[in-house]
């Protein structure tokens, strides 16, 4: 659902002109990416951005132009995110909850009552090439997963300073704290993030990632376990939320896929897409949408597969529910 400002603001102050609020739409993708990093859910982020625009519209007469419209919107978004996080649990990936399984042919654990991290479709944060490159670095799945371990205010400061590159004084004004407090929060956030630092953030050119994705999708559709296994790094990881069971190592992944997933060619269909600045595929099981698979790739192989088995994800990805 999208919020758009009306064409005219009959009671707005001069600083809250229709032109100014019309320009607010240009910040939608950036606000969505920010709220997603904070909340870890594309659905929650879309709802919250809607709320941000509604709050901004209702408070338009209080916008005096002393800060930029962008900063004002991010202040509203930050307050909304912090309020939302007071009532919500951290969104992890399976690898954040326990050790990998050493029994690929055995039963997998039932889904626990956990709000899982979700992927963010690239189509929702698209824009000019320069902004896409910048967004890709700050939206890597491993980084967003690591951000979920930070306390909400540390998370906000880290994103505003290190991802959005806002000056410390602007972040302080945005949060209503002192500049030294911002610096302290940032230092603590960086320290904690380094302890859960993503190790799989190697930058890969989109063409190389797409080539690996095409080969992966082809092997998956043919149920060619050996061809798919050859695309993996030796220490590759497979995660499948909402199933908490996950596997580490090429051999374990091969055994799991051979025994539980790729047992018959032609069952699965794959459509290419992109999420979190990474190659991804929509997996259809007998023509019905089943999962979004996000791949973390090195220049020559696939290092991690996260299969988000969430039946609602076809909507934000702009995909058909049934082929």
- Written as tens digits, the pLDDT of the chain (323 aa) is 434 433 322 333 444 455 556 677 888 999 999 999 999 999 999 999 999 999 988 887 777 666 688 888 999 999 999 999 998 889 999 999 999 999 999 999 999 999 999 999 999 987 554 455 555 667 899 999 999 999 999 999 999 999 889 999 999 988 989 999 999 999 999 998 887 765 555 557 667 789 999 999 999 999 999 999 999 999 999 999 999 999 999 999 999 999 999 999 999 999 999 999 999 999 999 999 999 999 999 999 999 999 999 999 999 999 999 99
Residues 6+ apart with CB under 8 A from 147: 37, 38, 40, 155, 158, 159, 193
Query: Could you tell me the two tokens for 89?
Result: 């649990």
Tabulate helix, strand, coil % of the chain (nearest 5): 50, 15, 35
In CATH, what is the architecture of 92-146+197-323? Roll (3.10)
pLDDT at residue number 4: 40
| DSSP type of residue 267 | S
CA dihedral over 31, 32, 33, 36, signed as positive or negative: positive
Contacts 24+ apart (CB under 8 A), 191-199: 192/149, 192/150, 192/154, 193/146, 193/147, 193/149, 193/150, 193/158, 196/146, 196/149, 197/146, 198/140, 198/142, 198/143, 198/145, 198/146, 199/142
Domain with CATH 3.10.450.50 in the chain: 92-146+197-323
pLDDT at residue number 11: 33
Q: Which residues pair with residue 174 across a beta bridge?
A: none
Domain with CATH 1.20.140.160 in the chain: 14-89+147-195
> Which pTM value belongs to this model?
0.89
| Bond into 242 cis (ω within 30) | yes
Could you tell me the fold of the domain covering 14-89+147-195? Answer: Butyryl-CoA Dehydrogenase, subunit A; domain 3 (1.20.140)
Between β-strands 302-308 and 232-240, what pairing exists: parallel, antiparallel or unpaired? parallel
């Amino acid at each position: 659902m999208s919020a758009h400002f009306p064409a005219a603001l009959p009671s707005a102050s001069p600083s809250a002109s229709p032109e100014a609020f019309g320009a607010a739409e240009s910040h939608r993708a950036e606000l969505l990416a920010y709220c997603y990093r904070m909340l870890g859910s594309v659905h929650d982020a879309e709802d919250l951005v809607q709320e941000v625009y509604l709050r901004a519209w209702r408070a338009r007469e209080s916008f005096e132009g002393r800060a930029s419209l962008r900063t004002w919107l991010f202040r509203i978004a930050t307050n909304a995110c912090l309020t939302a996080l007071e009532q919500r649990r951290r969104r992890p990936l399976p690898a954040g909850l326990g050790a990998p399984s050493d029994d690929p042919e055995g039963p997998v654990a039932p889904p626990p009552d956990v709000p899982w991290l979700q992927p963010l479709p690239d189509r929702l944060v698209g824009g000019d090439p320069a902004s896409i490159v910048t967004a890709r670095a700050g939206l890597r799945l491993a980084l967003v997963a690591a951000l979920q371990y930070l306390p909400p205010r540390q998370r906000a400061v880290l994103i505003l300073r290190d991802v959005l590159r806002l000056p410390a004084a602007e972040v302080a004004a945005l949060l209503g704290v002192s500049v030294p407090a911002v610096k302290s929060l940032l230092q603590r956030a960086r320290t904690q993030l380094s302890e859960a630092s993503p190790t799989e953030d190697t930058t890969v050119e989109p063409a190389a990632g797409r080539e690996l994705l095409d080969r992966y999708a082809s092997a998956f559709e043919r149920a060619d376990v050996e061809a798919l296994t050859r695309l993996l790094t030796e220490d590759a990881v497979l995660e499948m939320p909402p199933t908490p069971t996950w596997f580490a190592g090429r051999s374990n992944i091969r055994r799991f896929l051979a025994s539980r997933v790729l047992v018959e060619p032609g069952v699965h269909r794959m459509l290419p897409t992109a999420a979190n600045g990474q190659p991804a595929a929509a997996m259809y099981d007998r023509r019905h949408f089943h999962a979004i698979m996000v791949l973390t790739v090195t220049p020559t192989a696939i290092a991690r597969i996260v299969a988000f088995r969430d039946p609602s994800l076809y909507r934000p990805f702009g995909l058909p529910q049934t082929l």
